[in-house]
Amino acid sequence: MVNNQYSIPMIDITFKIKSHRTAIAQATVKVSKQETIDAIHNKTVPKGDVLEASRVAGLFGIKKTSELIPDCHPLPIEFAAVRHRFEGLEIIIETEVQTIYRTGVEVEAMHGASIVALTIYDMLKPIDKEIEIKDIKLIKKKGGKSQYKDELSRTIKAAVIVCSDSISAGKKQDFAGKAIIKKLEEIGGVSIEDYMIIPDEIKEIQSSVLNHYDQKTDLIILTGGTGLSPRDVTPEAIKPLLDREIPGIGEVARAYGQEHMPYAMLSRSLGGLKGNSLILALPGSTRGAAESMDALFPYLMHIFKIMEHSAHD
């Protein structure tokens, strides 16, 4: 019998988008005498060139992190560097790691710094018995959603409109619209002003959007009607209303969805601006709606930041 009571899986990162991520870590090796520092500079340490050997060891340590730390995901190391500097009797080690992936490289950077420090310790111990490793820490990290979350000076007013004949007729329940609302609530700084369900009718879709536009709703998200059936008319309803279509919105949503579901390329999702209102047309499936929100937010909130600056200018 298998006991799964303490079975904890790796963190699921499949829903995250790939982004440029950087981490810089530091470790310090303190020796006990100046002679040790001199031996490093003069390359007279019996075990060899301390700086070069520890640099190479650090690069291996960075690359092999996922093999040794159970919950670390294997990821591509796009750039890695190991640097040394001396401050008195201390050797300051700095490691920098970069990747374009779904998760950060903080542990890789710290693991690399640790391996560099241990290598230096191992190489110096024949000539110095009082070496100390200390202060292994993360100095800086960049990338991921937290880097691109704009702090706005006001709450964004949002409306979610479900476009579906079957749901409006009471034959099915809505899950996609509720998934969108949940994602908006997780972002924070957004007030859900309205949630409505309407049939797949061009005039009714346009009327609902224009009504929210007149109410100065900042973010109008429609879900449903972006497919290829005869009743999927949301893009046809929305496009004539836009002052500016933003092609990247549909492109990013489809590209992200395609990594998870090969049918995502068939979606006709789109987005754009009418005045200061951002209007999005997203898929009607729960999965498609949720994945589109993961692909687009919080990054789309930057539009409102741009508008704030424009208003000040």
Residue 256: its pLDDT value, please?
93
Question: How many CB atoms sit inside 10 A of residue 26's CB?
Answer: 19
pLDDT value of position 7: 60
E strand intervals along the chain:
19-30, 79-87, 90-101, 132-142, 156-163, 190-198, 219-223, 244-245, 270-274, 277-282
- Using CA atoms, how far apart are residues 219 and 272, in angstroms rounded to an integer? 10
Joined together, the tokens standing for residue 9 give 């899986």
Q: What are phi and psi of 125, to 5 degrees?
A: -60, -25
Task: Name which of 180, 137, 144, 135 is nearest 161 in CA terms.
Answer: 180
Distance of alpha carbon 145 from alpha carbon 265, whole angstroms:
24
CA 190-196-199 angle, 5° bins: 140
Query: 182 exposed, middle or buried (CB, 10 Å; 0-12, 13-18, 19+)?
Result: exposed
Candidates 122, 128, 194, 232; catalytic one: 122
What pLDDT does residue 148 have?
Answer: 65
Who's near 135: CB < 8 A, 6+ residues apart? Answer: 26, 27, 28
pLDDT score, position 145: 66
Query: For the chain, how many residues are written?
Result: 313
Answer whether 189's CB lies under 8 Å from 304's CB: no
Nearest CA to 243 among 213, 208, 212? 213
Residue given tokens 């111990």 in the structure block: 125
**In order along the chain (313 residues), what is the average pLDDT of each group of 10 residues?**
60 85 97 98 97 98 95 95 98 97 95 98 97 96 74 90 96 97 93 97 98 97 96 97 97 94 94 97 96 94 84 52
The reported pLDDT for the residue numbered 150 is 67
List Cα–Cα distances, 101 to 17, 24, 196, 260, 295, in angstroms.
7, 16, 37, 15, 14
pLDDT at 8: 64
pTM of the model: 0.76
Per-residue confidence (pLDDT) for residue 311, from 0 to 100: 58
Residue 68 DSSP code: H
Would you call 174 a catalytic residue per the annotation?
A: no
Beta bridge partners of 278: 219, 273
